[in-house]
């Protein structure tokens, strides 16, 4: 029990730091793009905790800027995916018939492809850039929310209070908003939590491949890619962003596990 509390506090602290850097990093006196040729590949020290990269830029400053980038992408992707997927899933389950069949087949088609490969294909078609990567990951991410929302709606649409609302002539949109959505919001929140972790990894992966965030904008994925060329002489270029990425994803997943247990949501 004590170890679980410690791990939860650790996860909360990491997520708090990540969010703080994302929101308040712009108020700090950072110079993520400042080139200092005298500090090229300088290892970590007391003056600069994470050292400098191959252009003499501060890795600490770029880590904080990369935190803002990953948070911005993950927030918008999960926000848009959850809205689109939830609406489609609820309507499909509520209406049923041919509309539900078409939605199920579309979901099956998306699930037939590995999500990251589909995101790579879309990012390659749309081109690099933060807006395009949000679009590509949203196109991939809505499927999970739609599938979950549909399954949850099917399990509760026949309940007595919902049938009573329909019998009383309550408008469909009001029934879905007031009676259906509150009952399925808990698993959707958990799904969104795990979705954030997945998007952080996907954004870093696409940036690593050159299909995501473009230089000079800092991204943990591009930082790792740049550091792979200097692994033997400057491993800190990979260790710092790699550790930051690992800690954030691990912390978000641990928080998702805790939320799932707290809300007593069973895995399907």
Q: What is the pLDDT of residue 264?
A: 65
Assess contact for 170 and 134: CB atoms under 8 A.
Answer: no
In this predicted structure, what is the pLDDT of residue 155? 86
Contact between residue 17 and residue 11 where contact means Cβ atoms under 8 Å apart: no
- Domain spans of the chain? 2-262
Structure confidence at residue 4 (pLDDT): 65
- pLDDT tens, residue order, the chain (268 aa): 566 677 778 888 999 999 998 888 778 888 888 888 888 888 888 888 888 988 889 899 999 999 999 999 999 999 999 999 999 999 999 888 899 999 999 999 888 888 888 888 888 888 888 888 999 999 999 999 999 999 999 888 877 878 787 777 778 778 788 878 888 898 899 999 999 999 999 999 999 988 888 888 889 999 999 999 988 888 999 999 999 999 999 999 988 888 887 776 555 4
Q: What angle do CA 194, 195, 201 make, to 5 degrees?
A: 100
Q: Which CATH class is domain 2-262?
A: mainly alpha
Q: What is the pLDDT of residue 199?
A: 93
Instruction: Give the per-residue pLDDT at 80.
Output: 95
Which contacts (CB < 8 Å, 24+ apart) does range 91-96 have? 92/146, 92/150, 93/149, 93/150, 93/151, 93/153, 93/154, 93/157, 94/153, 94/157, 94/172, 94/176, 94/180
Helices within 25-129 (DSSP H only): 59-95, 97-112, 115-126
CB 61 within 8 A of CB 50: no
Which among 113, 65, 94, 55 has a CA at the least distance from the CA of 213? 65
């Amino acid at each position: 029990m004590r170890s679980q509390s410690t791990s939860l506090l650790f996860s909360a602290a990491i997520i708090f730091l990540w969010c703080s850097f994302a929101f308040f990093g712009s108020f700090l006196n950072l110079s993520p793009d400042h080139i200092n040729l005298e500090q090229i590949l300088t290892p970590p020290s007391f003056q600069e905790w994470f050292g400098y990269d191959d252009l003499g830029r501060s890795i600490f400053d770029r880590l904080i800027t990369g935190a803002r980038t990953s948070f911005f992408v993950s927030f918008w992707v999960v926000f848009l995916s959850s809205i689109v997927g939830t609406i489609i899933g609820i309507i499909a389950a509520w209406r049923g018939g041919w509309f539900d069949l078409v939605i199920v087949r579309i979901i099956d088609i998306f699930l037939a492809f590995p999500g990251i490969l589909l995101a790579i294909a879309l990012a390659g078609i749309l081109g690099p850039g933060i807006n395009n990567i949000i679009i590509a990951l949203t196109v991939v991410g809505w499927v999970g929310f739609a599938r979950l929302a549909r399954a949850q709606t099917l399990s509760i649409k026949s309940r007595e209070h919902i049938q009573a609302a329909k019998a009383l002539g309550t408008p469909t949109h009001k029934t879905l908003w007031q009676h259906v959505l509150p009952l399925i919001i808990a698993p959707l929140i958990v799904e969104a939590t795990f979705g954030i972790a997945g998007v952080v990894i996907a954004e870093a992966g696409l940036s690593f491949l050159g299909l995501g965030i473009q230089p000079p904008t800092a991204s943990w994925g591009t930082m790792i890619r740049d550091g792979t060329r200097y692994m033997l002489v400057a491993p800190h270029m990979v260790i710092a962003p790699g550790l930051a990425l690992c800690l954030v994803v691990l912390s978000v997943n641990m928080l998702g596990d805790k939320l799932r247990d707290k809300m007593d949501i069973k895995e399907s």
